[in-house]
Amino acid sequence: MFSGIGHVRIGIIMYNLGMIDASPQTLTTRFIEYHDDDLSIGKLRFAGTIRQSAGVRMDQMRVLGQYALVLITAGGGAYAQQNGMRTVVSAGDVLLIFPDVAHGYGPTADRNWDEIYLVFDGPVFDAWRGMMQAMGPVVSGVPLRETFMKFRSVAMRSGAVRRLLELQSLLADLWEFSRQGRSSEPAWLSRAKEMLSLAPLDARGDPKRVASAVGVDYELFRKRFRQEMGTSPGKFRDAVILRAGARLLAETDHNLDRIAELTGFCDAFHFSKRFRQVIGVSPREYRQRARAH
């Protein structure tokens, strides 16, 4: 069951209070509300499970106002958007909900629907939006047990910063699955993503070297990469490097000079400047919050 969550409210809001077993087949219903108001860059707002969900009515579509991930753990039905898009969904599918997109979903008359969900918002997830849109609105056929455990890990993680990191890791995993599962993905793009995801100090991850390695002119490479991924190769690489920096801040006692060195920056000043630009807080503040939780 969920435990050690920190400053949260667990209650019965239209659901029965229960516990989540490690198996989707024994999923019961629970609602958790988090109070991480001191974390402005992004936060998990709610998490929970619903058995025999009625979903969101498609004749009265909802605009949530926040991002959400919904993993169908049993049964299935349909997902629809106000723009006319509609698709059949079933267990092992993940719905990606956006703050300003009217939508509805739920079981068809002859089916049931169980789910686990995460609701979140903040600038860091606005930065993820392009990649999320490239994935969705539905990531189909994920490994059900493995993905269930990742959702559960986000919800039960102790501390706001750790939940934030865990949630971004889940999004990255969904991204990788969605791209690998598309047989139409060009070989050059798979190779480019692999190289751009190399460790920060590996020079082969430099976008210009990646373009050369896949045999594409750099400007054309940038254009095609953005078309496929929703972001530039440079920003993709930045995200890899700064995620590494964030983990070093949260999980080690290295000073900023050492972290800058390990992430390929010339000094702590330039690392701190770039970290603040992308993450929204200074490295020291990020570390303090991570240690406080």
The pLDDT of residue 36 is: 63
Reported as a single tens digit per residue, the pLDDT across 207-244 is 999 999 888 889 989 988 887 766 788 888 887 888 88
Do the Cβ atoms of 53 and 30 come closer than 8 Å? no
Do the Cβ atoms of 277 and 239 come closer than 8 Å? no
Q: What are phi and psi of 32, to 5 degrees?
A: -130, 130
The pLDDT of residue 292 is: 67
Domain ranges of the chain: 8-159, 187-292
- β 86-90/138-139 pair status: unpaired
The pLDDT of residue 154 is: 93
Do the Cβ atoms of 160 and 250 come closer than 8 Å? no
The pLDDT of residue 142 is: 82
Give Cα separations from 170 to 87, 91, 149, 163 (angstroms): 23, 18, 10, 10
CATH topology of domain 8-159: Jelly Rolls (2.60.120)
Q: Which CATH superfamily is domain 187-292 in?
A: Homeodomain-like (1.10.10.60)
Q: Where are the alpha helices (DSSP H) in the chain?
A: 123-135, 144-156, 160-180, 187-196, 207-213, 218-229, 233-251, 256-262, 268-279, 283-292
This prediction has a pTM of 0.58
Do the Cβ atoms of 118 and 44 come closer than 8 Å? yes
Do the Cβ atoms of 55 and 104 come closer than 8 Å? yes
Do the Cβ atoms of 267 and 283 come closer than 8 Å? no
Question: Mind listing the pLDDT tens digit of every residue in the chain (293 residues)?
Answer: 333 333 444 333 232 223 334 344 445 568 888 876 667 888 899 999 998 888 888 778 899 999 999 999 888 888 888 877 778 788 888 999 999 999 989 887 666 888 999 999 999 999 888 888 888 798 887 888 888 999 999 998 888 888 999 999 999 999 888 877 554 567 788 788 889 988 889 999 999 999 998 888 899 899 888 877 667 888 888 878 888 888 898 889 999 999 999 999 999 999 999 888 766 678 888 888 777 65
Residues in the chain: 293
Q: What are phi and psi of 292, to 5 degrees?
A: -70, -25
